């Protein structure tokens, strides 16, 4: 069944970009919730240490906010970067998240620079095409390392405040990366993201969601691989 194309330019924009727009609203909504709850929570911790409370603007540049935010972003970008890379070579029989087991896939074909609407790097070839063909995974891993550094930077500030309160020396960002606390924070988030990968890959073998491109068709055999 085809869907009628909206005649209004605004409605067409909203419909054609609704998945990204709703996702962005969810990010902003939960981020606002995190900011206000984190602000009150951190001020309560500061009060216990007999330190002055932070204003909202001060909290937004604090280590507590940086650590809480980028500790989670870091694991998300790692998950997506690894998932993009692993699905190039690895297969899972019966999963809608896998490429087909033995047939050639369209994504494995070489690009056609003569195609009229082909992206500019495809038409130019050379190093631009080489970079473009790996740009998705490169972007995810750059975002991962940037988030990891900001997680460490924020964590070092919070950790150092606690250390000074106990009469111990403060740590810089690299010093905090060397602590078991930093890696505990990272590993507990990373494993949860890897669990989500295993869940969607495994559950999509046997379960369906009508209308979702992440699911196989309802009448597809459990052994059918790919979408």
Instruction: Enumerate helices (H) and strands (E) in the chain, giving the number of each.
Output: 9, 0
Q: How many domains does the chain have?
A: 2
Task: Please tell me the predicted confidence (pLDDT) of residue 108.
Answer: 86
The residue segments making up the domain with residue 205 are 71-227
Residue 37 lies in a domain: yes
Looking at the fold, whether 26 and 105 belong to one and the same domain comes out as: no
Specify the 3-state DSSP secondary structure of 96. Answer: coil
Task: Please tell me the predicted confidence (pLDDT) of residue 1.
Answer: 62
Looking at the fold, whether 95 and 121 belong to one and the same domain comes out as: yes
Looking at the fold, whether 51 and 76 belong to one and the same domain comes out as: no
What CA–CA distance (Å, rounded) separates 61 from 54? 10
What is the residue-level pLDDT of the chain in tens, covering all 227 positions?
677 888 889 999 999 999 999 999 999 999 999 999 999 999 999 999 999 999 999 999 999 999 999 999 999 999 999 999 999 999 999 999 998 988 888 888 888 888 888 899 998 999 999 999 999 999 999 999 999 999 999 999 999 999 999 999 999 999 999 999 999 999 999 999 999 999 999 999 999 998 888 888 888 899 889 87
Helix or strand holding residue 192 (H, E): helix 180-206
Decide: 77 and 147 in contact? Cβ < 8 Å. yes
What CA–CA distance (Å, rounded) separates 136 from 75? 16
| Nearest of 91, 81, 211, 202 to residue 139 by alpha carbon | 81
Looking at the fold, whether 49 and 131 belong to one and the same domain comes out as: no
């Amino acid at each position: 069944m085809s869907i009628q194309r909206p005649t209004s330019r605004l409605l067409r924009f909203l419909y054609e970009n609704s998945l990204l727009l709703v996702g962005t609203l969810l990010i902003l909504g939960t981020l606002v919730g995190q900011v206000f709850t984190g602000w009150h929570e951190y001020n309560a911790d500061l009060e216990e240490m007999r330190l002055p409370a932070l204003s909202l603007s001060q909290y937004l540049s604090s280590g507590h906010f940086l650590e809480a935010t980028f500790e989670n972003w870091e694991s998300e970008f790692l998950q997506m970067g690894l998932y993009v890379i692993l699905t190039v070579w690895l297969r899972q029989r019966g999963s809608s998240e896998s490429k087909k087991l033995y047939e050639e896939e369209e994504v494995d074909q070489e690009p056609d620079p003569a195609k009229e609407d082909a992206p500019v790097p495809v038409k130019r070839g050379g190093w631009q095409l080489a970079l473009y063909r790996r740009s998705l995974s490169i972007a995810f891993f750059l975002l991962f390392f940037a988030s990891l550094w900001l997680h460490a930077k924020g964590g070092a500030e919070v950790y150092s405040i606690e250390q000074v309160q106990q009469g111990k020396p403060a740590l810089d960002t690299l010093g905090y990366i060397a602590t078991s606390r930093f890696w505990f924070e990272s590993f507990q988030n990373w494993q949860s993201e890897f669990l989500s990968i295993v869940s969607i890959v495994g559950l999509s073998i046997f379960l369906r969601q009508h209308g979702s491109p992440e699911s196989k068709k309802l009448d597809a055999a459990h052994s059918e691989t790919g979408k």
